[in-house]
Structure 1
Amino acid sequence: METRQQGLLDPEPVTEVDEEMVSDVDLNNTMTDEEREGILSELTKLEEEISTLRQVLASKEKHHSELKAKLGITPLSEFKQNFNKSWYDMQTSTAYKKTSETLSTAGQKTSAAFTTLGTAISRKFGDMRNSPSFKSFEEKVECTVSNIKTKVGSQGGGGSFEEVLSSAAHASAQETPSNNMPESSDHERTC
């Protein structure tokens, strides 16, 4: 065996212990047979008490269920009652109140923003409708519709609707009456 160099605080030299010697020591053998018997007896008693308590608990739960049945308390009614109590508790909590106030404020602000947006869009549509290019487009559409009405009325079944429509579109595109169109009203000529 090797000895380590003795330090200033070490009163005795330290020697290495044989590993085989340590593994031969069984720590469970420190208990006597009498102590072991006592512990086993205590364990058995404890298991019997646990079994008895389980039986008593089962009996109490059965009696509890019978009393509820006599009162007409069903699992569904208990669930509703518990849910309502939880809902009430949640609504009266500070966090719920703060969240509710925050959401209410956010809803009001969102509503105001949508109102402002709607007003702005309406204004833009009004401005667009009053613009010269929209008025020009509107006049062309009115002219085309007027031409179609005139042609359908004047042909009296002499052509299909598609022919009249294509003729009116062709005339509108050229902005002059075509040779195959009958003379029309003054409104048609201004288109």
Structure 2
Amino acid sequence: METRQQGLLDPEPVTEVDEEMVSDVDLNNTLTDEEREEILSELTKLEEDISTLRQVLASKEKHHSELKAKLGITPLIEFKQNFNRSWYDMQTSTAYKKTSETLSTAGQKTSAAFTTLGTAISRKFGDMRNSPSFKSFEEKVECTVSNIKTKVGSQGGGGSFEEVLSSAAHASAQETPSNNMSESSDHERTC
């Protein structure tokens, strides 16, 4: 018996086993020759049966497709029928019904939320439009537009639009009525 060099993890040296002990425990040869021949015979018979069944199945599939062809059933028609059947089965399932109801409820709630949001935004815009600061801004814009119209109309094309716009903006920026009264109309005096 030889011992092998001890490794880092081996607590004890490894010894070789006698060859006689190994031949006594041969697991592959637990069958007798008769049993082995019987199993081989059965295996051969099963392979023949499988081959026969494949031939019968191929024959039946061919006959099946011939009958469908006589009835005018094409693969596309079969696909449509299978799809329609599957769609119907899915729609009648409880999971589909519950999901559909949940989505419907969610859609209604979302629609109500958007309606509420739209109403709130409209109300805020209304409140903002009625606020004193917005009214003041609106009056200034109206006054500036009136001044521009007056200047363009009174000058009769004597100046460019940019010049008129610039002078109107300058005039509306100055809030002293004495400067505006000398050249402006009655409407301009109120601005």
- TM category (shorter chain) comes to 0.7 to 0.9
Contact 1:171–1:178 under 8 Å retained in 2: no
Q: CA deviation at 1:134?
A: 0.4
CA deviations 1:117-146 (Å, max 9, x no partner) are: 221211111111100000001011111111
Tell me: CA distance 1:176–1:52, structure 2 relative to 1, closer, same or farther (3 Å): farther
Partner of 1:134: 134
TM-score, normalised relative to structure 1 = 0.79
Q: CA deviation at 1:186?
A: 1.5
Tell me: CA distance 1:136–1:30, structure 2 relative to 1, closer, same or farther (3 Å): same
Contact 2:171–2:180 under 8 Å retained in 1: no
Q: CA deviation at 1:19?
A: 8.0
Alpha-carbon separation, structure 2, partners of 1:9 and 1:169: 95
Identity %: 97
Q: CA deviation at 1:151?
A: 1.7
Which stretch shifts more, 135-144 or 116-125?
A: 116-125
Tell me: CA distance 1:138–1:71, structure 2 relative to 1, closer, same or farther (3 Å): same
* Consecutive unaligned residues in structure 1, runs of 5 or more: none
Alpha-carbon separation, structure 2, partners of 1:158 and 1:9: 108
Contact 2:181–2:189 under 8 Å retained in 1: no
Alpha-carbon separation, structure 2, partners of 1:146 and 1:47: 104
Contact 1:2–1:15 under 8 Å retained in 2: yes
CA deviations 1:38-91 (Å, max 9, x no partner) are: 222221221122122112212211221222222222222222212221221222
Tell me: CA distance 1:114–1:23, structure 2 relative to 1, closer, same or farther (3 Å): farther
Alpha-carbon separation, structure 2, partners of 1:8 and 1:148: 101
SS of equivalent to 2:22? helix
Alpha-carbon separation, structure 2, partners of 1:10 and 1:130: 93
Contact 1:147–1:168 under 8 Å retained in 2: yes
SS of equivalent to 1:4? coil
TM-score, normalised relative to structure 2 = 0.79
- Give the 5 Å matches for 1:62-77: 62-77=62-77
Tell me: CA distance 1:38–1:10, structure 2 relative to 1, closer, same or farther (3 Å): farther
Alpha-carbon separation, structure 1, partners of 2:4 and 2:157: 126
Alignment: residue pair count = 191
Which stretch shifts more, 107-116 or 2-11?
A: 2-11
Contact 1:152–1:164 under 8 Å retained in 2: yes
RMSD: 6.5
Tell me: CA distance 1:84–1:8, structure 2 relative to 1, closer, same or farther (3 Å): closer
Alpha-carbon separation, structure 2, partners of 1:176 and 1:9: 103
Tell me: CA distance 1:105–1:9, structure 2 relative to 1, closer, same or farther (3 Å): closer
Which stretch shifts more, 73-82 or 21-30?
A: 21-30
Q: CA deviation at 1:33?
A: 2.6
SS of equivalent to 2:183? coil
Contact 1:171–1:177 under 8 Å retained in 2: no
Tell me: CA distance 1:178–1:24, structure 2 relative to 1, closer, same or farther (3 Å): farther
Partner of 1:79: 79
Contact 2:180–2:189 under 8 Å retained in 1: no
CA deviations 1:131-177 (Å, max 9, x no partner) are: 00000010111111111111222222222222222222222222358
Tell me: CA distance 1:13–1:172, structure 2 relative to 1, closer, same or farther (3 Å): closer
Contact 1:151–1:164 under 8 Å retained in 2: yes
